[in-house]
Chain A
């Protein structure tokens, strides 16, 4: 099988899956089988591509010439491969979890849910394999549109308001800033291809480079740089599997992935660091990083706290991209993986708690750890990983990003990373501590702990797998770094 064909298959497998889901709308078991099957098939394709790229093979193909010299084109490169692997791999686990969650909660419109989910995954693949900025932008927009029905799934006024903010901010920033940046780039260079070393070098006055960078960075609303971050907390009205896969992995990672793509392949690391155009971004990202951590501390709703934590973690990556050193870029790539595993676990735990007890506020979770030990242990592991404690994966990405800052002699930035890690401790560990060390409230004890138990097996198994993943990735982080190394050389 040729590599090009596999790329195409990876793009359309979820779409075929969504058609199958539509056709089997009335047979829930078959419908869910199709979701799992397409997730499995997709992951197989991605593994094949991963194998190809680690053998040093490259492949690209073009669909149409939209306007002269501008194609819808796809290729495989390490960064995209990493993103595709994470998104497709976690889709399998998250699908299992979705089945448990959606059935456990007796949600309505499940067919629409699975269809939109599959389309969102397909557009994530499109983003991962996009061969130029234009193709990436198209799939970026499709991802926004296809996740909108998922955000407003509940149909309540609150969900609609959240959905409106979600769509308004993401579409607004992408059309208002990102598209302008893309057209400007096209105007300056006559190409939008992702080229190693960047395409802008020598084509633009260094004095206006920061403006172009700003258009890109604020235009990529999915990276949630303040002040365009509020769509992410608003999107938390969605069912938890959506928050888990899309708003901890696919959508937000598509955002920071785009940031890395732009920095590495449009601007070029050397060009960016030699002009100093990204200095402002270092401070903007640092501000977002600390500010959102502080906001997270103040949130009692677990999903809201996790959402602000995500905003903060995304800024780690933007910050690393702004530093524009080889080590920080590698760390940023790795952080896409480590944070994905950690955050999806945390969200799945939040969902499992909701399914089992219908509790959403952290202050109501006293003593639940003894009733739901697996869920809370997984939560603790993921929290340790995100904080950056060994032996969990999160430490490596922070390590590389901090090394990148040290290389530049920016000790203040290292301090930012460290302070933020302390804040992570501050907002994540109290959840675990309350659950394990505080007694159950009286009325719950009275009603008997029989009515309270772990969430359904299909909810608990996936989150244990991803928690285990945080541990395993600690030992295999080197492989990921090896995969990514070609992009900085």
Chain B
């Protein structure tokens, strides 16, 4: 038994990977429901594995798993510490609640003969994201990043009911995503050229002596830009709003909650574990490049969100802003700031997961998502809209929600660094969130329904349960935050351990 558990680190990636081609086999019976069930089982399996790994890491410290028993740095190593165990939990957890939500919406949005291929691509995307997170090998990160990206291009391109705008959105994402991946791999090439290794721990050790090497500097720049593209940091966010807007609902939920977060995790790894503070350009880039971009992202994203008329696009812009908050936490590079960033990766996944689920419910019933089409729907779909409002409060950062906990730690981190001018900026950012959330509340609750619209009924309970599970999490981890804060602080300490 213990023997089997020992292999969990590889199983959490291998099982979704192998199950993807198996899923294709369901096309022979054209059994859509079986494909869904299969995806559900795999997601739940991955979730259980992630819980096990997190528990294991919390109790016994980090895990180093050697693929095929080849010792690193020659063999590929899967290395799990608190940070990526946490991210694994986020990715698989969101998948585990999103798939139960997915059956009805996928049935509604994707043509029947494509559904099985849809689930196959989804499994590949899940594999990619889990793989990026778990691996301790830099080239492996690239491979998995591409697996997840390629499958998400396909998934986005399917669009809601073959919406043709999804094609251009996916194409844009394809081009920019590929540029990002190319930058990343070129950067890796530089590092490999200088150090001759791809194992992250080994890289970290060897780079320590190469602080003045120009090739290392170039590699660093390439990697950072590649990752900034993948995580949609302003001004490299242009692929994000359209992709989230036109993707099928299930994909919007999954990608909005996890995809950019995984890239942020990789950025954390490279900034703090691979390079670390022996490079004096790290604090420089953090303060003079990331921090200004993050501030602009907050304002650009929030103000952009205010002017959107499509609800999914509105929240896509808000995602650009939220990435800004996370990056500010990283740029602070003190324990509390980094903890705030890690915490917000988790908290924002809960918030945006819930919000895009509510948007999925709206697509399911109303179809169109313009602010006009939801007029007066607050009374007709009370559960969906109250969930949307609660998630919105969490996004603003009202106390007792997870969004509040994130803001609390972010502001503490800022005070610790004494960067007082940032505080009003964060506050104004939150107030801008009030404005765009309020816009939706006002339309849904206070505007009369258009007289020519047929009555709309609430979505089936099958959609409401996952939605409200996420809302529940938003409040549970807002009131009992010591678990997540404990993990985030520990994770921040691990990241900063590399400090000389």
- Contact check, A175 vs B430: say whether CB atoms are below 8 A apart: yes
- Contact check, B408 vs A68: say whether CB atoms are below 8 A apart: no
- Contact check, B397 vs A68: say whether CB atoms are below 8 A apart: no
A399 to chain B, nearest CB (A): 39
- Contact check, A187 vs B434: say whether CB atoms are below 8 A apart: no
- Contact check, A175 vs B431: say whether CB atoms are below 8 A apart: yes
**A contact residues around B416 at 8 Å (CB):** 187
**A contact residues around B398 at 8 Å (CB):** 141
CB-CB under 8 A for A172 and B431, given A137-B399, A138-B399, A183-B415: yes
Within 8 A of B (CB), among A345-359: none
Within 8 A of A (CB), among B426-458: 427-428, 430-431, 434, 438, 446
Q: Does B423 contact A (CB under 8 A)?
A: yes
Please measure, in the bound complex, the distance between the C-alpha atom of A183 and the C-alpha atom of B446, giving whole angstroms: 34
Q: Does A184 contact B (CB under 8 A)?
A: yes
CB-CB under 8 A for A66 and B415, given A160-B446, A172-B434: no
Please measure, in the bound complex, the distance between the C-alpha atom of A67 and the C-alpha atom of B438, giving whole angstroms: 28
Within 8 A of A (CB), among B397-421: 397-400, 405, 408, 411-412, 415-416
Please measure, in the bound complex, the distance between the C-alpha atom of A129 and the C-alpha atom of B87, giving whole angstroms: 39
Within 8 A of B (CB), among A148-177: 152, 155, 160, 164, 167-168, 171-172, 175-176
Q: Does B485 contact A (CB under 8 A)?
A: yes
CB-CB under 8 A for A66 and B411, given A141-B398, A172-B431, A175-B427: no
Please measure, in the bound complex, the distance between the C-alpha atom of A141 and the C-alpha atom of B396, giving whole angstroms: 13
Please measure, in the bound complex, the distance between the C-alpha atom of A141 and the C-alpha atom of B412, giving whole angstroms: 21
Q: Does B175 contact A (CB under 8 A)?
A: no
**B contact residues around A64 at 8 Å (CB):** 479-480
- Contact check, B430 vs A66: say whether CB atoms are below 8 A apart: no
What 1/0 flags go to A96-140 for Cβ under 8 Å of B?
000000000000000000000000000000000000001001100
A177 nearest CB neighbor, chain B only: B427
Q: Does B482 contact A (CB under 8 A)?
A: yes
Q: Does B481 contact A (CB under 8 A)?
A: yes
B30 to chain A, nearest CB (A): 48
Q: Does A461 contact B (CB under 8 A)?
A: no
A184 nearest CB neighbor, chain B only: B415
Report the count of interface residues on B (CB-CB < 8 A). Answer: 26
B480 to chain A, nearest CB (A): 6
Please measure, in the bound complex, the distance between the C-alpha atom of A186 and the C-alpha atom of B486, giving whole angstroms: 18
**A contact residues around B479 at 8 Å (CB):** 64, 66, 72
**A contact residues around B400 at 8 Å (CB):** 138
**B contact residues around A180 at 8 Å (CB):** 411, 423, 427
**B contact residues around A183 at 8 Å (CB):** 408, 411-412, 415
Please measure, in the bound complex, the distance between the C-alpha atom of A111 and the C-alpha atom of B457, giving whole angstroms: 23
- Contact check, A67 vs B431: say whether CB atoms are below 8 A apart: no
CB-CB under 8 A for A141 and B482, given A172-B434, A175-B431, A180-B423: no
Please measure, in the bound complex, the distance between the C-alpha atom of A355 and the C-alpha atom of B408, giving whole angstroms: 47
Within 8 A of A (CB), among B452-500: 478-482, 485-486
A72 to chain B, nearest CB (A): 7
B296 to chain A, nearest CB (A): 21
Please measure, in the bound complex, the distance between the C-alpha atom of A137 and the C-alpha atom of B399, giving whole angstroms: 8
- Contact check, B485 vs A67: say whether CB atoms are below 8 A apart: yes
- Contact check, B427 vs A67: say whether CB atoms are below 8 A apart: no
Please measure, in the bound complex, the distance between the C-alpha atom of A164 and the C-alpha atom of B442, giving whole angstroms: 10
- Contact check, B397 vs A175: say whether CB atoms are below 8 A apart: yes
B479 to chain A, nearest CB (A): 5
The residue in B416, B438, B482 that gathers the most chain A C-beta atoms within 10 A of its C-beta is: B482
CB-CB under 8 A for A187 and B415, given A137-B399, A141-B398: yes
Within 8 A of B (CB), among A184-225: 184, 186-187
CB-CB under 8 A for A66 and B412, given A172-B434, A175-B397, A180-B423: no
Given contacts A66-B478, A175-B427, A183-B412, 10 further A-B contacts (CB under 8 A): A67-B405, A67-B408, A138-B400, A175-B396, A175-B397, A176-B427, A176-B431, A183-B411, A186-B412, A187-B412
Taking beta carbons and an 8 Å cutoff, which residues of B are in contact with A? Answer: 396-400, 405, 408, 411-412, 415-416, 423, 427-428, 430-431, 434, 438, 446, 478-482, 485-486
Taking beta carbons and an 8 Å cutoff, which residues of A are in contact with B? Answer: 64-68, 72, 134, 137-138, 141, 152, 155, 160, 164, 167-168, 171-172, 175-176, 180, 183-184, 186-187
7 contacts between A and B (CB under 8 A): A67-B408, A72-B479, A160-B446, A176-B427, A180-B411, A180-B423, A187-B415
